[in-house]
Structure 1
Amino acid sequence: MNKRQALVAAALAGICAAATGSAAAHDGPAPGGKEKCYGVAKAGQNDCASSDGAHSCAGQAEADNLPTEWTYVAKGTCEQAGGSMKPIKAAKPAAPATQS
């Protein structure tokens, strides 16, 4: 392994470690005075992984108010904002039509 490959490998290892630490921080309890609220995150402003496993990172919500995306809100305000404290089930795709 040359010096450039070693540098790239070290950089990737650092990125992976930072991402793992960040995800672990979001899996724990909410920060003081906050609670997870599903269905109110704006596109690109979710706080962590989607509940359906579509992605595992913050900032990857593709649209506003997706039922599987969450963000932290002040305690007691989630339902007032139109969200849910529990993941909202995503709609199942329609079954393909059969041909006769």
Structure 2
Amino acid sequence: MKKTNIALATAVSGLIALAGTVASTSAVAAEEKEKCYGVAKAGKNDCATKTSSCAGTSKTDGQKDAFMMVPKGLCDRLSGGSTEG
């Protein structure tokens, strides 16, 4: 085999392996998130609240009904964070 063919085959194999790793990591990361209420800065919430209909519309820092998606287990360690809205 020519050196260019070997290099090309190696590069393609690496890209395929990387794509598989990213896909499996993304799936795991998506499953390991939870809603954390009371920690979003004003205008940085992830979804609608009881008082607004869109993401990014919380009025105050730490608004109790506004949440952000955080890695599972982190919310309990954040000041003011709660997994219940």
Is TM-score (shorter-chain normalized) higher than 0.5? yes
Structure 1 position 75 matched with structure 2 position 72: yes
TM-score, length of structure 1 as denominator length = 0.52
**Greater C-alpha radius of gyration:** 2
CA distance in 1, matches of 2:47, 2:75: 17
Equivalent AA in structure 2 for residue 33 of structure 1: E
**Structure 1 unmatched ranges of 5 or more:** 1-30, 88-100
More helix by share: 2
Question: Post-superposition shift, 1:32?
Answer: 2.6
3-state SS, counterpart of residue 77 of structure 2: helix
Partner residue, 2:63: 66
Q: Structure 2: how far apart are the matches of 1:43 and 1:79? A: 20
Higher relative contact order (CA 8 A, sep 6+): 2
Q: Superposition pairs for residues 33-44 of structure 1, below 5 Å?
A: 33-44=32-43
User: How far did 1:38 drift?
Assistant: 0.3
Q: Deviations over 1:10-33 (max 9, x none)?
A: xxxxxxxxxxxxxxxxxxxxx332
Q: Stretches of 4+ moved more than 4 A in 1?
A: none
| TM-score of the pair, normalised by structure 2 | 0.61
Q: Which runs of 5+ in 2 are unaligned?
A: 1-29
* Per-residue deviation, residues 39-94 of structure 1 (Å, max 9, x unmatched): 001111000011xx21111000111111111010111000101200001xxxxxxx
